[in-house]
């Protein structure tokens, strides 16, 4: 791993643990095993590090989770829908970078407009738009009953987001939380999918 990547990794860990304001450039450098002046060979400062972390996380999230611009292949039945949703949940809960960025954003969303917008997009608006497109596409394919896809996306995603948040606070409950999420998704399919 390059020094630049180690700086980003250690900075994200410290930001998630201590917050942005609670983390100094000296602490980041020390965690990497370099002197603070060496850090400036790679980044202009702490804000540059944060911006690079956020940009990297956004690209990673879009690539592995998806977005309203990147919904991937539509599921062709109930089981594929459940598997797709649980794969997205698993990525969100287990990807080390995404775990840390989520914890960091929850703390910092009240201190920065940009971070508040990113938090809202990943925990509400963006996920809702993505699932709206998926559900609408599956309605058009005849898999979902005709209904308001925005409301259905909200009904599907809101409990999942809350349960993931609970798992962040209580990691010892992860197994039960994952079971609850899958049970919720399956119930959603029973209620809204045709021919289930």
Residues 60/66/70/76 CA torsion (nearest 10 deg): 140
Task: pLDDT band for 68, please (50, 70, 90 cuts).
Answer: confident
Q: CA gyration radius for the chain?
A: 19
Q: Give DSSP secondary structure letters for 4-44.
A: HHHHHHHHHHHHHHH-STT--HHHHHHHHTS-HHHHTTT-S
- Could you give the domains of the chain? 1-64 (1.10.10.60), 67-196 (1.10.357)
Q: What is the pLDDT of residues 137-179, one digit of tens each?
A: 999 999 999 999 999 999 999 999 999 999 999 999 999 999 9
- Is the pLDDT at 129 greater than 90, yes or no? yes
- Contact 78/196 with Cβ under 8 angstroms? yes
Q: What mean pLDDT do residues 173-189 have?
A: 98
Instruction: Please state, in angstroms and rounded to a whole number, the distance separating the CA atoms of residues 19 and 123.
Output: 19
Give whole-number Cα distances, 135 to 38, 110, 169, 180, in Å. 50, 32, 30, 21
Whether 86 and 92 have beta carbons less than 8 Å apart is answered as: no
Residue 11: predicted pLDDT: 97
35 CA to centre of own chain = 32
> Given pLDDT bands bounded at 50, 70 and 90, which one contains residue 196?
low
What's the average model confidence in pLDDT over 22-35? Answer: 95
Q: Is 101 exposed, middle or buried (0-12, 13-18, 19+ CB in 10 A)?
A: buried
Distance, CA of 109 to CA of 119 (rounded, Å): 7
């Amino acid at each position: 791993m390059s020094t630049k990547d180690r700086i980003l990794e250690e900075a994200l860990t410290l930001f998630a643990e201590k917050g942005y304001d609670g983390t100094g450039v000296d602490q980041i450098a020390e965690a990497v095993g370099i002197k603070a002046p060496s850090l400036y060979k790679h980044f202009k400062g702490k804000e540059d590090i944060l911006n690079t972390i956020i940009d990297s996380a956004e690209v990673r999230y879009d690539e592995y989770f998806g977005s309203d611009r990147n919904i991937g292949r539509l599921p062709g039945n109930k089981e594929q829908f459940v598997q797709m949703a649980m794969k997205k949940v698993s990525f969100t809960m287990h990807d080390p970078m995404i775990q840390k960025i989520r914890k960091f954003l929850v703390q910092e969303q009240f201190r920065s407009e940009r971070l508040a917008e990113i938090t809202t997009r990943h925990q509400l608006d963006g996920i809702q738009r993505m699932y709206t497109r998926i559900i609408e596409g599956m309605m058009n394919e005849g898999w979902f009953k005709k209904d308001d896809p925005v409301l259905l996306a909200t009904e599907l995603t809101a409990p999942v987001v809350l349960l993931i948040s609970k798992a962040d606070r209580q990691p010892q409950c992860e197994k039960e939380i994952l079971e609850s999420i899958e049970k919720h998704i399956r119930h959603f399919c029973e209620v809204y999918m045709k021919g289930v």
